[in-house]
Amino acid sequence: MMIVMKPTATEEDIQAVVERIEGCGARAHLSRGEEVTVIGAVGDREHVQRLGLEGHVGVSQVVPILKPYKLSSSQFSHGRRTVIEIDGRRVGGDNFSLIAGPCTVESRDQLMTAARAVSDAGASMLRGGAYKPRSSPYSFQGLGQEGLRLLAEAKAETGLPIVTELMDARDVEAISEVADVIQIGARNMQNYPLLAELGRTGLPVLLKRGLSATLEELLMAAEYVLKEGNPNVMLCERGIRTFETAYRFTLDITAVPMLKELSHLPVIVDPSHAPGRRDLVLPLSLAAAAAGADGIIVEVHPNPEEAICDGPQQLYADQFADYVEHVERAAAVAGKVLSAAA
């Protein structure tokens, strides 16, 4: 249920409603707008209904939230879009975030060369996996702790915030020390205990869409993070499994405007993993930016021929500045400017 307060409601009125909601075992989430405050009551709908909040002082109306996802829904934020601030860079709103870097942290030289190239080209953040979800248990699994140490070094030199993947709740502490954004990979989108754990950390989360997840399932996964009190969630479209076999995954561009209609959370697109081919990364990036995406997370490597994983799709670091120029223009078509440090 959504309790819409009157513009004249006082702080005491709001707190009194919150106490009534919590008193019946539900949770109250506040969304303060310029004019009115909306209180999302998440819990047993019947219990909340029985409170009769329509008649409570300061309450304008009580509206059921019809979607199964609540806190991530546009209805809950009454049209306001979430803007997440990461080390002075803004994600969402009129900002276009460019997250770039190698698929995997492989060595000091590889990471630092990539980090300098993307930083010089104007990237907003640096990506790089220290823990990698590989289809084969016999493949390289990432440098782990050593990878995190190198990411910290790249951040110290370039000033770029770090986006890196978390796969195991036991690594939350170590990764949180380095990461500014925690990436939840497609294969873990429905790892609910992991999502709830991140909800309790408050750290910004980049939540990738599962290989065969519907948009509703993606939003329900986001709900697990939001429900624990962490509002900093970015949704990421990275391609889904379809009957098409000409490329690895089908990048669902339709998901961009659709998610922006259904939710107030920023929408990021990964143009690298769907095609699995470098030459298709630019056209998909342009499409994503023009469709209104709030940003892109793209793979860049100084020497992709020698990459340990995802080599064929990684952009050449020395060509990245040219790529950024093109993407920036497409983002401008959708009214967005590249997000840089404030």
Binding site for Mn ion (CB under 5 A): 103, 310
Contact status: 312 vs ligand PEP (CB under 6 A): no
- List 20, 273, 278, 301, residue binding ligand PEP (CB under 6 A): 273
Which listed range, 19-27, 40-48, 145-153, 185-193, lies at the site for ligand PEP (CB under 6 A)? 185-193
The residue with tokens 């020390």 is 177
Is residue 257 part of the contact set for ligand PEP (CB under 6 A)?
no
Does position 208 bind ligand PEP by CB under 6 A? yes
In whole angstroms, how close is the CB of 204 to Mn ion at the nearest point? 20
Distance CA 148, CA 178 (A): 7
Among 84, 100, 103, 181, binds ligand PEP (CB under 6 A): 103
**Number of residue whose CB is nearest ligand PEP:** 185
Given Mn ion, ligand PEP, none, residue 300, with its beta carbon under 5 to 8 Å by kind, binds none
Tell me whether strands 337-338 and 315-316 are parallel, antiparallel or unpaired.
Answer: unpaired
29 vs 208 by CB, closer to ligand PEP: 208
Q: Which does 262 bind (CB under 5 to 8 A by kind): ligand PEP, Mn ion, none?
A: none
Stretch that binds ligand PEP, among 25-33, 180-188, 197-205, 322-330 (CB under 6 A): 180-188
Residue 186 interacts with ligand PEP (CB under 6 A)? Answer: yes
For ligand PEP, the closer CB: 185 or 304:
185
In the bound state, the residue with its beta carbon closest to Mn ion is 103
DSSP string, 215-251: HHHHHHHHHHHHHTT---EEEEE--B--S--SSSSB-
Q: What element of type H or E holds 256?
A: helix 255-262
Instruction: State which of residues 133, 159, 229, 257 lies at the interface with ligand PEP (CB under 6 A).
Output: 133
CA distance 86 to 77: 21
**Helices (DSSP H) in 58-184: which residue ranges?**
108-120, 145-158, 172-178
User: Can you tell me which of 70, 238, 264, 278 binds ligand PEP, judged by CB under 6 A?
Assistant: 238
d(CA 131, CA 151): 12
Residue 121 φ/ψ, nearest 5 degrees: -85, -5
By the rule CB under 6 A, 278 interacts with ligand PEP: no
Are 314 and 323 a contacting pair, CB within 8 Å? no
185 lies in the site for ligand PEP, by CB under 6 A: yes
- What is the rounded CA–CA span in Å between residue 62 and residue 6? 11
Q: How many other CB atoms sit within 10 Å of the CB of residue 4?
A: 17
In b/e form, how buried is each residue of 271-289, taking b as 16+ CB within 10 angstroms? Answer: bbbbbeebebbbebbbbbb
40 binds ligand PEP (CB under 6 A): no
Sequence-separated (6 or more) residues with CB below 8 Å from residue 99: 123, 124, 125, 126, 127, 163, 181, 206, 268, 295, 296, 297, 298
| Shorter beta-carbon distance to Mn ion: residue 60 or 107 | 107
The partner in contact with residue 185, picked from ligand PEP, Mn ion, none with C-beta cut-offs of 5 to 8 angstroms by kind, is: ligand PEP
Residue (17 or 103) nearer to ligand PEP, CB: 103
Please state the closest distance from residue 310 (CB atom) to ligand PEP, in A: 7
Based on the number of CB atoms within 10 Å of its own CB, is 35 exposed (0-12), middle (13-18) or buried (19 or more)? exposed
Contact residues for ligand PEP, defined by CB under 6 A: 103, 129, 133, 185-187, 208, 238, 270, 273
